[in-house]
Amino acid sequence: MSTVKVEPFFFQEDGIQIAPNSLPGAVEENKDTQKETPETQAKPENTSKDDNSSEGVIHTGFSFEEPEVQVEGTKEEEKETEKITSDKVEYKAISDFLIESGIWKDFEGKEDFEFNEESFQTMWEAQAKNQAAEILQEEKAQFGDTANQFIDYLKSGGTVDTFVENYSQQLDIQSIDITDEDGQEKIVKEYYESIGWKPEKIKKHIERIKDEVELKEEAEDCKSKLVEAIASEREEMIKEQEAIQKDKKLKFERFNKAVRETFYKDTTLAEREKKDLDKFVFDYKYQDQAGNRYSEFATKWNEINSDPTKYAKFLKFVKNFDSFEDKKETAKEENRKNFSFLKKGTSLENVVSQEPVKQRSNKTPGGIVFK
């Protein structure tokens, strides 16, 4: 058989030789290797047979040699990045930097403050709350004193109607025109009625000061006193509501503390059950868009309130609450008895099966007669 020999092929176009490996998609280029120059593209590869090649081998001019990969980098780059642990953090230096930068506010006792992971986290939360309070105060200041009073009153548990009723009185007094005699008499009458004067006494007093100048001066003074009295009443109302809210909060905290103590005093619950119950009620892990936080118990309670079927089930449970506890104790007592019975070692393996004993008959077997 004769030897087949194939030379590298080229496409001739306008006198330009186009090598196959220059066609799109012909050969996957290695971006790391150096591009061929026109001179190397023009020269076909040597297609002469290798000394060790055998007959019939086809040479196409393609090269499949893998490029050499150069590994760069130092030993330091190869080392894993060292992780920073809490014991290596300079919490005091970070605190000083935040205060100097104006991000944090300076605080009293900083020099004696013991910085560690826990105290730094506490300080971070305190600084965040302080900053939020300052921002809120700046925003509130834009609405005026009355709007701020209204917000504070509602935050303390007050009602809109009570506040509006008080403020409406102030607006009514301020709207009285005391440039004419009718307005002057009206405002004087309003003032003396507010301090408990009888109508006859008020009428005599107005007749006595009927002189235009004296009545006008009396009217201005009465109007100013009425506005001040209503404003003072509103401030007292807000303070009283804040005191009520504070008292409610203290009672609520005492009640929650007592509930928690009851959880951990309950001998019928395992330690894991006590912790799960505490977390269910007091772990405020949910938050709404307004920033209010809720526990899983609160969300469950809301779910029951919004579902008539579940609420009806809850009502049945409350109605039979005491008997539910009794049934629960009875079931536990039965379980304890069963457990004690098995613990004594009584089992089917210790029971010896016995065949039933047949009663002997006085009759003799048939066919045999004894003398």
Q: 246-278: per-residue pLDDT in tens?
A: 999 999 999 999 999 999 999 989 999 999 999
pLDDT at 351 over 50: no
Burial of 113 (0-12, 13-18, 19+ CB in 10 A): middle
Q: How many CB atoms lie within 10 A of CB 158?
A: 20
> What is the mean predicted confidence (pLDDT) over 292-312?
94
Q: What is the pLDDT of residue 280?
A: 95
CB 13 within 8 A of CB 66: no
Q: If you average pLDDT over every residue of the chain, what do you get?
A: 76
Alpha carbon distance 243, 95 (integer Å): 36
CB 298 within 8 A of CB 279: no
Q: Which residues pair with 286 in a beta bridge?
A: 294
Alpha carbon distance 139, 133 (integer Å): 10
CB 349 within 8 A of CB 356: no
Q: What is the pLDDT of residue 74?
A: 54
Q: How confident is the model at residue 337 (pLDDT cuts 50, 70, 90)?
A: low
Which of the 8 DSSP states describes residue 86?
Answer: G
Query: What is the Cα 115 distance to its own chain's centre?
Result: 27
pLDDT at 56 over 50: no
| Distance, first Cα to last Cα, the chain | 124
Q: How confident is the model at residue 226 (pLDDT cuts 50, 70, 90)?
A: very high
Q: What is the pLDDT of residue 333?
A: 62
pLDDT at 366 over 70: no
Q: How confident is the model at residue 24 (pLDDT cuts 50, 70, 90)?
A: very low
pLDDT at 83 over 50: yes
- What are the distances in angstroms from CA 248 to CA 131, 156, 294? 27, 10, 18
AA letter at 362: N
Q: pTM (2 decimals)?
A: 0.50
320 vs 369, residue with greater confidence = 320
pLDDT at 19 over 70: no
Using one digit for the tens of pLDDT, what is the confidence trace for 131-145? 888 887 887 778 788
- What are the distances in angstroms from CA 194 to CA 175, 216, 222, 229? 17, 19, 11, 10
Tokens of 244: 């009520």
209 vs 329, residue with greater confidence = 209
pLDDT at 178 over 60: yes
Q: How confident is the model at residue 331 (pLDDT cuts 50, 70, 90)?
A: low
Return the SS3 of 12: strand
CB 308 within 8 A of CB 292: no
Q: What is the pLDDT of residue 55?
A: 47
30 vs 315, residue with greater confidence = 315
Q: What is the pLDDT of residue 300?
A: 95
Q: How many CB atoms lie within 10 A of CB 95?
A: 21
Q: What is the pLDDT of residue 242?
A: 94
> What is the mean predicted confidence (pLDDT) over 60-81?
52
